[in-house]
């Protein structure tokens, strides 16, 4: 990724992994309109370039992953300007949600409001033991608008999501792990390394298979079981004629590591 951004760092890592860092540590990596537009542009480029196998998102510094929307920028907005800005934020959230590649969050610190919503839109997340989480929007006279009422309920259950959202209650990394918001807790300073390690594992596998499996999981969860299983078979059958399927079988029989090409 060669593009330079004002609010993000996009770094090519080994194994065709793209590391994306919110780079506004002076405001706890809160996103403003510029950051939202840049993240939309970045994910458009990711899909267009078709060179990456996994994306990792994190925040600069150790204090915060992302504190949500930059409220100072919003102070002077009219109602119409607020709604227009939020449409930009909606496109940003959708760009993460709809990415066909695996998107992992390395939660290095606080993930509040829209920051937590971004974590929940990633495929899964690892977090520092010191990380804190909250959807605090009702304390500001609004409500979650980046999918939080839906994604937190799907991760933690309806009753838990109501408790956390309606009371604007912060919760700890240990609670986030217990409730399915994150997959693993890491020691201080280790979360990015451990997230990149699992990203490397994913990137070493057949990329078309990884994409199709993600697609089947995501869409199948919104179907009844019989329909979801038919959907899974349709996704499976798209892989039968690929070079990677033949390479995987050859490598297994030849007792060597496969060389997947995404074809």
Give the active site residue among 3, 62, 90, 117: 117
Alpha helices, DSSP H only, in 138-206? 148-156, 158-166, 173-178, 191-203
Structure tokens at 134: 């909250």
Is 137 a known active-site residue? yes
Is 117 a known active-site residue? yes
Give the active site residue among 6, 11, 73, 137: 137
d(C-alpha 137, C-alpha 130), whole Å = 22
Q: Note whether 88 and 114 are within 8 A (CB).
A: no
DSSP code of residue 15: G
DSSP string, 108-143: -SEEETHHHHHHHHSSEEEEETT-EEE--GGGGT--
19 closest CA partner among 67, 63, 53, 70: 53
- Catalytic residue numbers read 117, 137
């Amino acid at each position: 990724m060669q593009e330079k951004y004002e609010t993000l760092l996009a770094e090519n890592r080994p194994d065709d992994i793209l590391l994306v860092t919110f780079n506004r540590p002076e405001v706890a990596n809160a996103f403003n309109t510029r950051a939202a537009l840049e993240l939309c542009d970045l994910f458009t480029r990711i899909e267009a370039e078709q060179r990456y196998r996994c994306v990792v998102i994190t925040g600069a510094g150790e204090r915060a992953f992302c504190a949500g929307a930059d409220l100072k920028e919003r102070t002077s907005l009219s109602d119409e300007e607020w709604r227009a800005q939020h449409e930009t934020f909606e496109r940003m959230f959708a760009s993460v949600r709809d990415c066909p590649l695996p998107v992992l969050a390395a939660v290095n610190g606080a993930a509040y409001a829209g920051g937590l919503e971004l974590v929940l839109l990633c495929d899964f997340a690892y977090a520092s033991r010191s990380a804190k989480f909250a959807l605090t929007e009702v304390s500001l006279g609004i409500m979650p608008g980046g999918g939080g009422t839906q994604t937190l309920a799907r991760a933690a259950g309806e009753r838990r999501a109501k408790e956390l959202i309606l009371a604007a209650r912060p919760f700890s990394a240990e609670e986030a792990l217990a409730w399915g918001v994150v997959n693993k807790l890491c020691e201080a300073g280790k979360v990015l390394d451990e997230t990149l390690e699992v990203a490397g594992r994913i990137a070493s596998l057949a990329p078309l298979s990884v994409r199709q499996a993600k697609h089947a999981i995501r869409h199948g969860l919104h179907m009844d079981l019989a329909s979801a299983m038919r959907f899974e078979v349709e996704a499976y059958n798209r892989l039968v004629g690929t070079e990677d399927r033949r390479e995987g079988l050859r490598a297994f029989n030849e007792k060597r590591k496969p060389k997947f090409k995404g074809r």
